[in-house]
A and B are shown apart, each in its own frame.
Chain A
Amino acid sequence: MKISREDVQRVAELAYLDLSDAELEMYRTQIDEILEYIGKLNELDTAGVEPMAQVLADDQTADATLREDVAVLCNVAAEILKQAPDPEPPYFRVPKVIER
């Protein structure tokens, strides 16, 4: 067994994801099977292989594409706030996080 119920619980907490007991058990079983399968990567000797994070040609790297730091007016704040579940322009309101 690659992953325990406690592992799934811990990971769900890291991801701020409420899971029911049934979900915890289902994901444990399924992810265990997936991790078992992923284990086949250990057949490969990757010592000395550089990890690859992105497929980018030289002209696509951050250095090549940085623009001048100029302010551009976008003026969309009101429209963006309209999408919020609980807007208090110009703020997004959330439950109180600091107890007195």
Chain B
Amino acid sequence: MTTWTIDGTREALAAKKVSARELAANFYKRIGERNTELNAYLTLSEERAYAQANRMDALVAAGKPLPPLAGVPIAIKDVISTRGVRTTCGSKILESYVPPYDATAVERLEAAGAVILGKTNCDEFAMGSSNENSAYGAVRNPEATDRVPGGSSGGSAAAVAAGMAVASLGTDTGGSIRQPGSFCGIPAMMGSYGRVSRYGLVAFASSLDRIGPFATNTRDVAAVLHVIAGRDANDSTSTTAPVPDYRAAMEKPVKGLRIGIPKEYFAEGMDSGVRTKIEAGIEVLKKLGCELREIHMAHTDYAIATYYIIATAEASSNLARYDGVRYGLRVEDDSLLAMYRKTRGAGFGAEVKRRIVLGTYVLSAGYYDAYYLKGQKVRALIAQDFRDAFTKVDVIVTPTSPIPPFRLGEKTNDPLQMYLADIYTVTGSLAGVPGISVPCGKICGKLPVGLQIFGPAFGEATVLQLAYAFEQAGGGSV
């Protein structure tokens, strides 16, 4: 199997070694071969993909300059709206929903020449860490098909890892890009809160949700992020801060870069195989001439509790819109209120209902101060931990997940245990900082491990700089 990169695709198109149309057809062939087993794609957008491929081929034929992602086959997580292409959010309640508009990130990818192959499977409304909460069946990890690909963006990670797309978009609310990237052995990045417009992203927890890329290498991650980042008038939370040239920035040497290693991320609870690989990864960083410093992030242990208050509270509010009136499923009843109740009871899956109940509870009269307000206060302390750390170091390095990819069904009966596995990723989500997961070896040559790099808010360039240096130094095969 050829591994296509973004530059490789543009060069092959420009040199007329392949047409964008042939390339798209090759990827659909690959999807035809692999998707039955992996279940990474829910919907294919062939008509749209070939129309875009034809536009790219016309540019080549006319000898015109090619845009940065010309002909690059890309997959989109099914919580991101695509005009005319079904967007289910992994939920029965939106089984036949076809958005009337494109998310800004999708629009920008296509404007940059990308070919959208289709929509990828995910945990229902992006709620989950294993992709087992999809109403359309679990996704299998291409690296170990008896294992989960991680979640919630499991389909986007698996599609790239299995060569069914050159890059993909996922979304990250508590780790849903970084953890599946780690589990599937590919780089995966969440930019700072506000770096990428969420217009057209179906909301889960609005103060946390972010869109970001998966690819087979960090240069491609940077290229996709560069295309989708930047102010969008349709998302008031998107920042006006200029988007740096990430690819130029990442070539800079990392010698002397100050790396914080937070003691709290290396406490008990980490799988020994993961620990061995991360320690080997840290040795690579030392050899690159980085300056390693032990730091403290005192509130790390409170992040899961904080996250599951805030994320579920926001979800209970955001998901109020699924009421059987304007779109999606309706279960008929003579009474309006009974129609709401039946529609929502029948349309949502078990994890979504669990989070709506928990989120409604923590916001309800008598419990708001004890849970929601308390959670917001501890969130402030966690964000302060990050700000304090970044006065002493340039980046923070941790494992992405305390455990390697687990077996399908292994954790589905114990939601709290599933939540606890998000311990290293939710912190950065709450603080709003950028983070990447980069491959850091495989346990027994089989189960991928991810090394996570956090940077200060809008410090994506530094995060990518270290990720690229780590990748170039062989960090992926420690």
Contact = CB atoms under 8 A, between A and B. Distances in A.
B453 interface: no
Contact of B381 (A10, A17, A46): A46
B341 A16 contact: yes
B339 A83 contact: no
B342 interface: yes
A65 B241 CA distance: 13
Contacts of A92: 325-326
Contacts of A60: 194, 236-239
Interface string A33-57: 1110110111110100111111111
Contacts of B329: 85
A31 B354 contact: yes
Interface residues on B, range: 35 or more
Given A59-B239, A84-B325, A95-B333, A41 B194 contact: no
B267 interface: no
Contact of A97 (B336, B354, B357, B376): B336
Given A34-B416, A55-B207, A95 B305 contact: no
A19 B345 contact: yes
B376 A53 contact: yes
A40 B331 CA distance: 40
Given A27-B354, A95-B339, A76 B325 contact: no
Given A3-B361, A46-B381, A60-B194, A17 B345 contact: yes
A46 B416 contact: no
Interface in B322-368: 323-330, 332-337, 339-342, 344-346, 348, 350, 353-354, 356-358, 360-361, 364
Nearest to B340: A16
Contacts of A6: none
B457 A27 contact: no
Nearest to B237: A60
Contacts of A34: 308, 358, 415-416, 419
Given A11-B360, A17-B341, A19-B345, A51 B373 contact: yes
Interface in A1-34: 3, 7-8, 10-12, 14-19, 23, 27, 30-31, 33-34
Contacts of A7: 361
A92 B339 CA distance: 14
A16 to B, nearest CB: 4
Interface stretch (B97-105, B221-229, B393-401): B97-105
Nearest to B333: A95
A79 interface: yes
A86 B361 CA distance: 32
Contacts of B454: none
Given A56-B237, A84-B326, A85-B324, 14 more contacts: A3-B361, A11-B361, A23-B350, A23-B353, A31-B361, A44-B381, A46-B374, A49-B378, A52-B383, A60-B237, A65-B236, A76-B101, A86-B330, A92-B325
Interface of B: 97-98, 100-101, 193-194, 207, 233, 236-241, 299, 301-302, 304-306, 308-309, 316, 320, 323-330, 332-337, 339-342, 344-346, 348, 350, 353-354, 356-358, 360-361, 364, 371, 373-381, 383, 415-416, 419, 430-432, 457-458
27 contacts: A12-B357, A15-B316, A17-B344, A17-B353, A18-B341, A18-B342, A18-B346, A23-B350, A27-B357, A33-B416, A34-B358, A37-B416, A41-B305, A49-B377, A49-B380, A49-B381, A51-B373, A57-B194, A57-B241, A59-B240, A60-B194, A83-B98, A85-B325, A85-B330, A94-B325, A95-B336, A96-B334
